[in-house]
């Protein structure tokens, strides 16, 4: 079993200090912070969660070694559920996308990546990393992807779904070029709703957190349409785009609209050779969390079938956040379980198969 959205936390963003190069070390050590010392610099969402984001049973700073979030993750997730792999997605690192100063944002992303490589990946063979970049600095992001994209522990490039523009936009071409060159998929994780990024919904700012949270999928919908329309998958036939923490059930309705509108007006995008839904099936992957739970399971099942869920879905728990999905509660068809809980991620991220692992153990 592979969990595709596990948040490796820090006790304080000050852990990044040794990894931030000058002059940006001064920004973090002495400069303005959006909170007390240890806060991570980002333009915070104006929609504030009234209960906080973390599960209450997750290691609190006062409980012993404040640096050891890994131990909590190991016992509460890796060992408890017998995971083969956990794909780490950072905690606030993707929020670098909200900063106006793209160079500082890239410096923070580099520091996070180096901290991940130094402090997390060596601790457990089951951990894999996501290479965080600052999308508002496409050239800087491309340099970072080429610098560290070949690291054997890194399995994807990671940005927030909150963005200035949809990710198919030519503005981001350097990121796609670099990701294709190093052979990594590009993933967007729900987040980055603030700062320089676009309002995350289509009719102005919602008011309440639960209202806003339900609507944050609109950020993901726009990226799906954009990467397809701009021909990312014609330009890079091996590319995959992964959406993390956006839920799944909205995808078919969007693809039906995209197919209908494309059929009527395909002359706008002559580089496309297939229907939007066909690109989605082969090139877009969605992590399952937060998995929808309607009263009538059949209604969800129809949506899962319509999106070819057996091929498209990747199990994710979102550990240790408030809306954590227990793998025991994800209700996909029995004959899909191996694909959704393991094989799709293993293929996407080129993780050794069970057979390979057994061979390595006896080598």
Segment interacting with a second copy (CB under 8 A) among 35-43, 88-96, 118-126, 223-231:
223-231
Does residue number 216 form part of the binding site for a second copy (CB under 8 A)?
yes
Site for a second copy in 73-102 (CB under 8 A): none
149 vs 162 by CB, closer to a second copy: 162
157 vs 228 by CB, closer to a second copy: 228
Does residue number 249 form part of the binding site for a second copy (CB under 8 A)?
yes
The nearest distance, CB 304 to a second copy, in angstroms, is: 10
List Cβ neighbours of 284 (8 Å cut-off, separation of 6 or more).
224, 227, 228, 240, 241, 242, 243, 312
Does residue number 299 form part of the binding site for a second copy (CB under 8 A)?
yes
Does residue number 247 form part of the binding site for a second copy (CB under 8 A)?
yes
- Which residue reads 């998995």 in tokens? 291
Does residue number 221 form part of the binding site for a second copy (CB under 8 A)?
yes
- Torsions phi, psi for 82 (to 5 deg): 60, 45
Q: In what order do the strands lie in the sheet containing 313-314? A: 2-6, 85-88, 127-132, 154-160, 186-189, 241-244, 284-287, 313-314
The nearest distance, CB 316 to a second copy, in angstroms, is: 16
The nearest distance, CB 273 to a second copy, in angstroms, is: 15
Does residue number 319 form part of the binding site for a second copy (CB under 8 A)?
no
Does residue number 119 form part of the binding site for a second copy (CB under 8 A)?
no
Distance CA 299, CA 295 (A): 9
257 vs 359 by CB, closer to a second copy: 257
Contact present, 293 and 327 (Cβ < 8 Å): no
List Cβ neighbours of 243 (8 Å cut-off, separation of 6 or more).
161, 187, 188, 220, 223, 224, 284, 285, 286, 287
Could you tell me the two tokens for 284? 């877009």
Does residue number 267 form part of the binding site for a second copy (CB under 8 A)?
yes
């Amino acid at each position: 079993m592979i969990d595709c959205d596990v948040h490796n936390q820090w006790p304080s963003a000050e852990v990044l200090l040794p990894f931030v190069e000058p002059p940006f070390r001064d920004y973090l050590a002495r400069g303005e912070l959006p909170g007390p010392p240890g806060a991570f610099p980002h333009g915070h969402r104006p929609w504030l969660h009234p209960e906080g984001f973390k599960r209450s049973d997750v290691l609190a700073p006062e409980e012993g070694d404040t640096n050891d979030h890994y131990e909590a993750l190991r016992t509460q997730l890796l060992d408890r559920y017998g995971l083969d792999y956990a794909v780490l997605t950072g905690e606030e690192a993707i929020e670098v996308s909200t900063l106006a100063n793209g160079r500082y944002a890239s410096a923070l992303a580099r520091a996070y990546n180096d901290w991940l490589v130094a402090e997390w990946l060596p601790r457990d063979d089951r951990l894999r990393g996501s290479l965080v970049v600052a999308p508002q600095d496409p050239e800087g992001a491309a340099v970072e992807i080429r610098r560290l994209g070949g690291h054997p522990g890194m399995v994807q490039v990671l940005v927030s779904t909150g963005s200035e523009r949809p990710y198919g936009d030519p503005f981001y071409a350097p990121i796609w070029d670099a990701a294709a060159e190093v052979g990594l998929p590009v993933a967007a994780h729900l987040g980055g709703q603030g700062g320089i990024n676009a309002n995350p919904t289509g009719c102005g700012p919602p008011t309440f957190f639960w209202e806003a949270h339900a609507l944050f999928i609109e950020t993901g919908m726009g990226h799906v349409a954009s990467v397809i329309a701009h021909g990312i998958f014609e330009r890079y036939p091996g590319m995959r785009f992964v959406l993390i923490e956006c839920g799944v059930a909205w995808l078919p309705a969007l693809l039906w609209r995209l197919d209908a509108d494309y059929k009527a007006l395909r002359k706008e995008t002559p580089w496309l050779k297939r229907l939007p839904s066909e690109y989605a099936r082969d090139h877009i992957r969605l992590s399952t969390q937060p998995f929808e739970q309607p009263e009538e399971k059949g209604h969800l099942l129809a949506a899962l079938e319509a999106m070819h869920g057996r091929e498209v879905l990747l199990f994710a728990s979102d550990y240790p956040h408030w809306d954590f999905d227990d793998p025991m509660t994800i209700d996909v068809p029995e004959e899909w379980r191996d694909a959704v809980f393991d094989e799709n991620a293993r293929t996407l991220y080129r993780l050794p198969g069970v057979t390979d692992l057994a061979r390595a153990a006896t080598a």
